[in-house]
A and B are shown apart, each in its own frame.
Chain A
Amino acid sequence: MKIKAHQLIESIEFKKLVRIRWTVSFVLLFFLFLNYYGFILIIALKKDWVTQKLGNGNYGLYAGASVILFSWFLTFVYVFWANRYYDQEVEVLKSKLESEAK
């Protein structure tokens, strides 16, 4: 059954899509904040944690690289989710829409 844009926005599927989209975004953003500001705050407040030796270097040296790697990983989680789930849902919803919206 084809529906109009207004009906689509009121539909449960669309509302669910919007909700999931921002839930995923904000959960990932939360981890990004935890990752980066956690790193900054540990350096500022618990400096002795990062100065502990690890080989000839210390934890802080590897922590810097890990923060970058983890941020990179988060973007790939998002892409994976978007390709697997979001795009499919968008296609389903688009096919329900009457062509006048274009």
Chain B
Amino acid sequence: MESSLGQPNFISVLFFVIFVVLTLGITYWAAKKTKTSSEFYAAGRSITGFQNGLALSGDFMSAASFLGISGMVALKGYDGIIYAVGWLVGWPALMFLLAEPLRNLGKYTFADVLAFRLKQKPIRIVASIGGILVTITYSIAQIVGSGKLINLMFGLPYELAVVIVGGVMLMYVLFGGMIATTWVQIIKACLLLFGVTLLVILSLAQFGFSLENLFSEVETKFGRTALEPGGFAASPIDSISLGLALMFGLLGLPHILMRFYTVPDAKEARKSVAYATTFIGYFYIIIPIVGFAAAVLIGREQIAGIDKGGNMAAALLAELLGGTPFLGFIAAVAFATILAVVAGLTLAAASTISHDLYFNVFTEGKATEKEQVSVAKKATVVFSVVSILLGILFKDQNVAFMVGLAFAIAASGNFPALILSILWKNFSTLGGVFSILIGSVSATLFIIFSPTVWVDVFKFDQAIFPLKNPAIVSMSLAFLSAFIFSKLFPDENATARFESEKVRVYLGIGAE
């Protein structure tokens, strides 16, 4: 099959321009409503559970899931499915452990929860470090991925693509704050769910709407092994460690956690997770069908010929089944996906800098509304410029390890301190500080010493740390240090304030 991938294609550019114009229109509308800090960080707490559920799924279903998992299933078969499953299972955990307490305790960032009864300054500084490390590594991964993607799809130069993504996202966040970012996520989630559903229906039509026929075609073409687990199963500890990072990483991702402050109360927060789990679960159940159909209808060699990682499988399939217009649509959806995720990350980073560092640490809560919003906007610009520059710098790096790093730091640095501050009466400030520091630093070091970086990137023969993902070790270290330092350096104020925290966590009294 001849593909028009990689040529500037009129229809895909048109779809993309429509998306950008539409969302910038929303940003213009949102800009008029965004004056206070609550509107800038939390959309004035006016988002409904259903809307927030869609926005959460928009924040979470990145291009890595959409293009990456379909490509992985296309090239490697069953192992891609195992990966897809891992991306969903954090959501129920988020519901059981954090959704309601987060909404009831916090104002704008997850550090609010930690700082509720611990000492403001040290805990906010350390929590900001953890939060910014996660957002920056995750956004570099997204930006580098987007640059390559645009390059492959439209034939635009890498640097230009990165600057376009960075520039448009900056406008959403800068002018529209959380209101605009939320609506960008909602529109993107709808487009993505619609696009993938259409792709699945058109694919299944080729097999008489029968999964059985699809499976038997896969078997005849690639043999039985395509439908069976392969290399993924080789090391159980590695798989469990990856699973822990995927599951609990979600519970420490700042841009996901801050979405809980956009809804009015704990009940809506709960609804948000229920809707998000539904949309995301549906997405991960059907995405393997796209991968298998692409493998059969296009062929593994051709998919790998265009991109070694298989990232173009969904795009090629769209072109085959729906011609250039459908390819254009899917390309625009992929672009929109990256844009939306990066916008969410930027807003999370800007909130941390302005709310946690500037407002609560630097001015000790004395800054006016106007100053806060102005600092948040400056932080947005700085964070965007830094991530665009790093995106260009990391051009030829493998981004998979950065996504792994972001999840490992989130799971080991942010999650243990967050859950202990809600559950454990004797949790102390120093316990929190060391848990975050030891968790994030050990996760980062272990990733550098792991086979993914030490062998694949630095080309050493043997990795110093044997596991590909360190979560199982670094999370344990974080919990252990929280325990030891809380016992060694107890914090009477924190223990005393546990009572008022409880009234708020369980009854929601006093939550803004």
Please indicate the chain A residues that have their CB under 8 angstroms from the CB of B423 in the complex. Answer: 22
B236 close to A28 (CB less than 8 A): no
> Is B284 a contact partner of A21 (Cβ separation < 8 A)?
no
> Among the listed stretches B89-97, B129-137, B305-313, B347-355, which one makes contact with chain A, having 4 or more residues with CB under 8 Å of it?
B89-97
A79-94 interface (Cβ within 8 A of B): 79, 82-83, 87, 90, 93-94
Contact partner, B499, options A9, A45, A55, A61, Cβ 8 Å: A9
The yes or no answer to B18 lying at the interface (CB within 8 A) is no
Q: Judging by beta carbons under 8 Å apart, are B503 and A25 in contact?
A: no
Cα(A65)–Cα(B271), bound, Å: 23
Residues of B within 8 A of A76 (CB): 274
How many whole Å from B496's CB to the nearest CB in chain A? 11
- Asked if A72 contacts B278 (CB within 8 A), the reply is yes
Interface string of A13-49 (1 = CB under 8 A from B): 0100110011011101100100111011101110100
Q: Are A68 and B284 in contact (CB under 8 A)?
A: yes
A101 and B281 contact, CB distance less than 8 A: no
Contacts A43-B82, A61-B78 given; does A90 touch B506 at CB 8 Å: yes
Contact partner, A50, options B84, B85, B229, Cβ 8 Å: B229
Given contacts A45-B236, A93-B507, A94-B509, contact A87 B92 (CB under 8 A): no
**A45 / chain B contacts, CB cutoff of 8 Å:** 236
User: Which of B215, B224, B281, B508 touches A90 (beta carbons < 8 Å)?
Assistant: B508
Q: Which of A41, A58, A78, A101 contacts B503 (CB 8 A)?
A: A101
Instruction: Tell me if B227 and A17 are in contact (CB < 8 A).
Output: no
CB distance from A25 to the nearest CB of B (A): 4
Nearest to B284 among chain A residues (CB) is A68
Cβ of A69 within 8 Å of any chain B Cβ, yes or no, is yes
For the complex formed, measure the closest distance between the CB of A2 and the CB atoms of chain B, giving whole angstroms. Answer: 14
Q: B285 contacts which chain A residues (CB < 8 A)?
A: 65, 68-69
Complex interface: chain B residues within 8 A of A37 (CB): 240, 243
Report B87 CB to chain A, min CB distance, Å: 9
- Give Cα A67–Cα B91 distance, bound, in whole angstroms: 13
| A contacts with B: majority SS | helix
Q: Which of B78, B100, B212, B236 contacts A41 (CB 8 A)?
A: B236
B386 part of interface (Cβ distance < 8 Å):
no
Give 1 or 0 for each of B491-502: 1 = CB within 8 Å of chain A CB: 000000001101
Q: With A14-B506, A40-B236, A44-B236 given, is the CB distance from A60 to B227 under 8 Å? A: yes
- Contact B85–A39 (Cβ < 8 Å): yes
**Does A18 contact B506, Cβ atoms closer than 8 Å?**
yes
Tell me whether B213 and A56 are in contact (CB under 8 A): yes
Q: How far is the CB of A84 from chain B (nearest CB, A)?
A: 12
Say whether, besides A58-B228, A60-B78, A40 and B503 are in contact (CB < 8 Å). no
Instruction: Tell me if A47 and B233 are in contact (CB < 8 A).
Output: yes
Taking a contact as CB atoms under 8 Å apart, the answer to whether A36 and B85 are in contact is yes
Find chain B residues with CB under 8 A from A90 CB.
506-508
Residues of B within 8 A of A47 (CB): 228-229, 233
Chain B residue contacts of A64, Cβ below 8 A:
81-82, 84-85, 288
Query: Quick check: is B88 within 8 A (CB to CB) of the other chain?
Result: yes
Q: Does B277 lie at the interface of the complex (its beta carbon under 8 Å from any beta carbon of A)? A: yes
List B contacts of A9 (CB < 8 A): 499, 502-503
B residues 455-512 near A (Cβ < 8 Å) are 499-500, 502-503, 506-510
Report the bound CA distance from A97 to B500 in whole Å. Answer: 13
Inter-chain pairs besides A5-B500, A60-B227, A79-B270, 16 sampled, C-beta below 8 Å: A9-B502, A9-B503, A29-B93, A36-B86, A36-B89, A40-B236, A44-B239, A55-B212, A56-B212, A57-B227, A71-B89, A72-B92, A90-B506, A101-B510, A102-B509, A102-B510
Instruction: Name B residues whose Cβ lies closer than 8 Å to a Cβ of A.
Output: 78, 81-82, 84-86, 88-89, 91-93, 95-97, 100, 211-213, 215-216, 219, 224, 227-229, 232-236, 239-240, 243, 247, 267, 270-271, 273-274, 277-278, 281, 284-285, 288, 423, 499-500, 502-503, 506-510
Top 6 A-B residue pairs of the complex, sorted by shortest distance between their CB atoms: A44-B236, A25-B96, A56-B216, A56-B215, A57-B215, A64-B81
